[in-house]
Amino acid sequence: MLSACSAISFTDLFSNYNQQMREVRQAQQQGGFQQALSLIPSRNSNNSSYNLSLLEKARLAYLANDNKQSQEYFAQVYQLVQEAQLAAKIELSRGVENVAAVVSNDNAIRYEIPLYEQSMLHSYQALNYLAQQDLSGALVEVRRANLVQEQALISNANSIYRHQEEMAAQGVNMADFSHRYPTMDNTIGDIKNGFQNAYTFYLSALLYEAAGQSNDAYIDYKKALEIYPDNSYLQQEVWRLANDLYMSEDITLLKTSLPQAVTHKNEHANQGQVTFIVENGIVAAKQEIAISLPIFTSHNNMRFYSMALPSYPNNLRNYSPLTVSYQNKSYQSEEIVRLQSLAAKQLKDQLPLMVTRQVVRLLAKEEIRQQLERKNGQLGNIFANIYNIATEKADTRSWSTLPDSIHILQLNLPAGEHQLMLNINGSNQQIKLSIKPNKVTLVKLAAIGTYNQYQTYNL
């Protein structure tokens, strides 16, 4: 119990993360980003959720247009990620954390930032650098975001299989568990994994082109298209650069696989591109659910135990696309990533490991209860049961201030000053843009509830 309290606060021990962040998310939903910042629970650097707290603060500071503060928070998180990757430190620190988790709950384990959250960390940090007109700094961040995904492709499949084996070793049948656990299939959709993010590749391709690195841009556009093949804007960019770079073999293949993009006209001379990146909503929070599973005790007796686990709602919210009107023509945005789906897929892949820890914890708590009952009679039994019930909390931690869905929209305009009419979530807004020939003007929009805001970057 003492080791648990050293890793997590008293509040963390008896209430889950979702509950603690409720008021923060409500303030964010209303556009009160500074208020949301002030409502984030205070945590010191020894707290198991300290890195997650920094992520929440960094995202909210970004929304509040405090790019320097956001940059500082993200830099601290990245430093913590690097430290956590040192194997010796992981083993040393997690020994105490795992003991704490056995007698409390998974919230005592240091929050391990999921790969999709790491890639978003670097994407936001790249935008922080762009806000300060530092393209080279932004390029460093998008390279880091891409490296996260490349490394994940190598290690992900093996880790999932290993966790399933560990769960089976504890006597839990995967099919039986899947039958009892609520499905998240509608939320996950048809994505292959919980870390490949077409948006981060798209952003890196934009920045590579701005830096004159067309070959690198082409590679990342193709990666984004592979993940989100139905996005027409990605199709057009791949077709455009394939022609610009004289990729004859690719051009032949693209004529068959992307007939709509092939008929799309490329930009003319003295034109620039306007690119909209639209963040919609807030990702759903994890919910705590309880399921009962048959588990064999240390005395080889089979009993049904109730365990608390996290889950996501099995539905996705619908968002109206951004509509941009210019000279009696309308253009609509298209989704490039659904972060809610990545979050649900990542959770599903981690469930075998979570269940394994839960079984170990349940058996350990049962052993402690029996010992207390033998030594202290019914009073010890009552105390143990109260403690076990109070601390059986699901780990509902996640980066809960992220957007739910991200869309993109691109159009080419003649160089000069232009006024565009935007319609998002039924609200009209007129913006004025200065377009430079052969350059990209990036417009970043955040649409949260009834709140809309935009930032402009000249690439």
Enumerate domains of the chain plus CATH numbers: 2-458 (1.25.40.10)
Span of 61-65, 292-296, 321-325, 366-370 with lowest mean pLDDT: 366-370
pLDDT at residue 265, as a whole number: 57
- Which residues lie closer than 8 Å to 125 by C-beta, 6 or more apart? 71, 74, 75, 78, 141
The token pair that represents 318 in the structure block? 């619908």
Residue 71 CA from chain centroid, whole number = 18
Longest dimension (CA), the chain: 87
- 414 close to 402: Cβ distance less than 8 angstroms: no
Q: Using pLDDT thresholds of 50, 70 and 90, give the confidence band for residue 14.
A: low
User: Using CA atoms, how far apart are residues 254 and 238, in angstroms rounded to an integer?
Assistant: 9
- DSSP letter for each residue of 269-308: TTEEEEEEEEEES-PPPPEEEEEEEEEE-TTS-EEEEEEE
Question: Tokens at residue 400, please?
Answer: 């809960």
pLDDT of res. 452 = 84
Q: Which amino acid is at 278?
A: V
pLDDT cut 70: percent of the chain above it: 77
Mean pLDDT of 223-250: 91
Q: What is the DSSP letter of 112?
A: -
Confidence of residue 95 (pLDDT cuts 50, 70, 90): very low
Share of the chain above pLDDT 90, in %: 50
- Could you tell me which residue, 72 or 382, shows the higher pLDDT? 72
- Contacts within 8 Å (CB) and 24+ apart, 133-136: 135/207, 135/210, 135/211, 135/459, 136/211
Name the band, by pLDDT with cuts 50, 70 and 90, for residue 88.
very low
Q: Indicate the DSSP class of residue 129.
A: H
Residue 436 CA to residue 459 CA, distance in Å, equals: 10
Work out the end-to-end distance of the chain between its first and last CA atoms, rounded to an integer number of angstroms: 54
Mean pLDDT of the chain: 83
More confidently predicted of 344 and 328: 344
Buried b (16+ CB within 10 A) or exposed e, 322-344: bebeeeeeebebbbbbbbbbbbb
Q: Which residue has the higher pLDDT, 110 or 171?
A: 110
Residue 384 makes CB contacts below 8 A (sequence gap 6+) with 365, 368, 369, 372, 373
* pLDDT, mean of residues 138-162: 81
What average pLDDT does this structure show over 243-262? 81
State mean pLDDT over 238-248: 90
Across the range 135-155, mean pLDDT stands at 89
Predicted pLDDT of residue 258: 76
DSSP state of 194: S
- The distance of Cα 398 from the centroid of its chain, to the nearest Å, equals 8
Identify the pLDDT of residue 394.
Answer: 84
Decide: 334 and 324 in contact? Cβ < 8 Å: no
Beta strand pairing status for 271-280 and 440-448?
parallel
What φ, ψ does residue 38 adopt, rounded to 5°?
A: -70, -20
